[in-house]
Amino acid sequence: MIAGLTNLDTLKKALLAETLVNETRFDLMIQTIGLGVAGIFNAFTNRRLAWMLGDTITFSGDRPHYYLPRYPILNVMSVQMKYFRTDNWNDISDQPITVNYETGLIHFGYTLGRFPLQVKAIWDGGYWFEPLEPDDDAYPSTAPVGAVLLPDDLKAAFLLQCEEVWAQRDKLGSGIIDKPGAQSGLSKLELAPLVKMVLQTHIRYQLS
């Protein structure tokens, strides 16, 4: 079960005491925190960090190149274009397209056309991590050949930020009565300085 940038088991082991790891009552809360933090990481870095097969994006074709938001790239399956919403997509995958698999850059060699030309790319990419849980039949799974594993610095930053959020949570709901204002800090919670420093090195720069 994916919980952001790890599976749920990994995140639980980072947040819970060893005696509570097998508990399931916090699973939904922990998964929600993980997915939320991963979403914040995506927004901060202007990219899609986690592994995905068949990701899709549509962008304006009045350009000679584009940086796909989910990389490293494993495979660009197709590039298509059309001018108007009612048009059919035309495949241009056999055109001279250069791909930088490490940075996400696809270069067409020339400006494809004028606005409102639309281009759609379908590709596999992102950082791979174990998506299954230890009690799943196929665990441990095998990374796709050529996929890049989630870097240690990103994994550490993700777990650290999840711990920051978890520490602010009223897990049992007792604070509703005893400390009704204790969780007001959650709305003001920011990325930890170390987390920001790590994420700065993973930002995708795409001006248009």
pTM greater than the 0.75 cutoff:
yes
What dihedral angle (degrees, nearest 10) is formed by the CA atoms of 122, 126, 130, 136? Answer: -20
Question: What tens digit of pLDDT does each residue of 103-134 get?
Answer: 999 999 899 999 899 999 999 999 999 999 99
Confidence of residue 26 (pLDDT cuts 50, 70, 90): very high
- Of 175 and 21, which is predicted with more confidence? 21
CB atoms within 10 A of CB 166: 19
Helix 152-168 × helix 27-45 angle, to 10°: 130
Question: What whole-number distance in Å separates Cα of residue 194 and Cα of residue 64?
Answer: 36
Reduced to 3 states (helix: H, G, I; strand: E, B; else coil), residue 167 is helix
Residue 77: left (phi > 0), alpha (psi -120 to 50), or beta? alpha
Token pair of 164, please?
Answer: 């920051």
